Amino acid sequence: MKISINKNDVDNIKTDAVIIPFFEDSNNLTGSILKIDKIIDNKIASLVKTKNITGKEKEIVVIHNFSKIKTNYIICAGLGKIKDITYNTVRKSSGNIIRVLEKLKCKDVVWLTNLEYNQKTDTAKMAQALIEGAVMGSYIFTKFKTDKKAVRSSSVNKISISTPDLKNTSKIIKSAEKGLIMGQAVNMARDLENTPANRLTPFDFMNITKDIFQTKSDISIDIIDRKKAESLGMEAFLGVARGSIQEPYMVILKYQPVKNQKSLWLVGKGVTFDAGGISIKPSKKMGDMKADMSGAASVLAAMQVISELKPEKNIVAIMPLTENLPSGSAQLPGDIVKAMNGKTIEIVNTDAEGRLIMADAICYAVKNQAEEIIDIATLTGACTVALGHSAAGIMGNKQVNINKMTDVSHFTGDRVWQLPLYDDYLDYLESDSADIKNCTETGGAGTVTAGKFLEQFIDTTPWMHMDIASVMDYSKTDGYAVKGMSGYGVRNIVEYILLS
């Protein structure tokens, strides 16, 4: 997709569609909009008068050109009240609009907008949000469809942004291009998450990572295979892998442009299929557990963005990859394993496996003197009980970092909500036979006790944990959310890093 600034009068430019913003609490027919309306015999004003155009959020009205203007379609997009507009309002709107443009088979479009709608918004950030929404809203997963009619890609290949802020066009374009990179990365994560487990084993995931990064000179790749993991004492990680015939791997990506500086480490849970092990899950919707590697997918996609934007910050990503299956060789409830840092863990439920592989990955980051650790995982079903599907859970040991990530989420729309890590919760994990249980057996505080478990492997390193199980997928298509797996957290991670 090409992005540009349109400096011509929109009433005199040949394009497939012009998108016009409309608001509930504003006189919309001004400037270029008024000029267009006069040329098409006041059709827009007539629709406003009859309340067929109201400016309400999500409203989309398509007007044909009546052969009086060079554009084929005029699309009036409702954005609600100006005072209430956020970056996510525009992001959601452009996600909805892009699908309308595709149905109309539009290729080249002009987005007519002031972008800076109110004092709370920034022109360049609005451009980024607009493009992110368009790219994410156009997502479709048809990789395994054999009917050619079902296979499509977005028809829109050029978006021109029309803005009166011509003094900052280079900044606006740069932000819009960042939005393109971000949106494409989220869609890449979605592709991985939507791919079934027989097509995305730990070995496949490792090879995809190699294919993406082996030609990038600023990213190095290290692989910890079973033999290396054994030598490092990663019993927690290897214990989860015991039930599967698939070999486990830890894949490490290093972006380190600054010499003699510690790195921020990203840890992404990569269980490519989770049947629960011996503590097997119910069969209903078990197929969705192909996406239990969403944390690893988000981290991988974030590193793709990092390799494009090239911040002056050292970043290392580690993705523990395995399946969690029941078999004659599988880990058993009651087993005791030792993590890389020497802490012993009693396995009371083999379906609490994500925290085990994350524990050894976190230990590895700590051993390698991580400056800060951010982990992201579809860790607990309890997170959905706590937060529904509207936010991810966030916990950590440094409040200023949690505050920063929360602020970032307000911009991205990938919302997070802080949960406590009181020391009392450690009592829920007390074991009679090991240093710690791998999960609580009381049925309460499932998400928090999982975070408390991970905290035991952090030492004193600044750390933040995002449980994205509650936002792993979208149940319907709306705005930039497309039914299926979500790619949640990619943009949060990147924006956080860019603020560092």
For the domain that residue 304 is a member of, what is the CATH number?
3.40.630.10
> What was the pLDDT predicted at 13?
80
pLDDT for residue 168: 84
The pLDDT score that the predictor gives to residue 228 is 98
Q: How far is CA 436 from CA 337, 397, 408, in A?
A: 10, 19, 34
Instruction: Reply yes or no on whether 199 is catalytic.
Output: no
Based on the domain organization, do 144 and 208 belong to the same domain?
no
Question: Is the separation of the CB atoms in 362 and 454 below 8 Å?
Answer: yes
Asked if pLDDT for residue 234 goes beyond 70, the answer is yes
CATH number at residue 131: 3.40.220.10
Same domain assignment for residues 239 and 313: yes
DSSP 247: P
Residue range 289-313: mean pLDDT, rounded: 98
Pick 415 or 166 by higher pLDDT.
Answer: 415
User: Can you give the pLDDT at residue 303?
Assistant: 98
**Are 261 and 185 in a shared domain?**
no
Instruction: Say yes or no: 185 and 199 in one domain.
Output: no
At 432-459, the pLDDT tens digits run 999 999 999 988 999 999 999 999 999 9
Domain identity same for 204 and 177: no
Q: What is the pLDDT of residue 113?
A: 78
Residue that has been written with the tokens 């298509």 in this structure: 477
**Residue located via tokens 């009166």:** 164
Indicate the residue among 142, 162, 190 that finishes a domain. Answer: 190
The two beta strands, 344-346 and 336-338, are antiparallel
How many distinct structural domains can be found in the chain? 2
In this predicted structure, the answer to whether residue 47 has a pLDDT above a threshold of 80 is yes
* Structural domain harbouring 181: 2-190
Domain limit, last residue, from 143, 169, 190? 190
Q: Which residues contact 209 (CB under 8 A, 6 or more apart)?
A: 221, 251, 253, 300, 319
Q: Beta-carbon neighbour count of residue 433 at 10 Å?
A: 9
Per-residue pLDDT at 236 exceeds 70: yes
Query: Are 117 and 246 in the same domain?
Result: no
- Of 68-72, 78-82, 353-357, minimum mean pLDDT range: 68-72
- Pick from 289, 439, 428, 425: nearest CA to 350: 439
Catalytic residue among 125, 190, 269, 355: 355
Bridge partners of 315, per DSSP, are 255, 264
Which of 190, 220, 255 represents a domain boundary (last residue)?
Answer: 190
pLDDT of residue 23: 92
Options 43, 81, 171, 281, the catalytic residue: 281
* pLDDT of 295: 98
Is 219 found in the same domain as 152? no
Cβ(74)–Cβ(122) below 8 Å:
no
Instruction: Provide the pairing of β-strand 372-377 with 463-467.
Output: parallel
Q: What gap in Å lies between CA 466 and CA 452, rounded to an integer?
A: 12
Residues 181 and 219 in one domain: no
Mean of pLDDT over the chain: 94
In order of 186, 286, 294, 454, the CA distances from 491 in angstroms are 8, 27, 14, 23
- Is 355 one of the annotated active-site residues of the chain? yes
Six-digit token string for 71:
């554009």
On the question of pLDDT at 273 being above 70, the answer is: yes
Is 116 a residue whose pLDDT tops 70?
no
Based on the fold, state whether residues 159 and 293 are members of the same structural domain: no
The verdict on 215 and 155 lying in the same domain is: no
- Strands (DSSP E) along 194-312, which ranges? 220-224, 249-255, 264-268, 270-274
Compute the average pLDDT of residues 1-18.
85
From the list 52, 54, 93, 131, the residue with the least C-alpha distance to 491 is 131
Three-class secondary structure of residue 377 per DSSP? strand
What is the pLDDT, as a whole number, of residue 8?
76
Q: In 3-state terms, what secondary structure has residue 386? A: helix
pLDDT digits (tens, 9 = 90+) for 364-375: 999 999 999 999
- pLDDT tens column, 330-355: 999 999 999 999 999 999 999 999 99
With a cut of 80, say whether residue 10 has pLDDT above it: no
pLDDT tens across 129-140, in order?
999 999 999 999
- Kindly state whether residues 28 and 66 are assigned to the same domain: yes
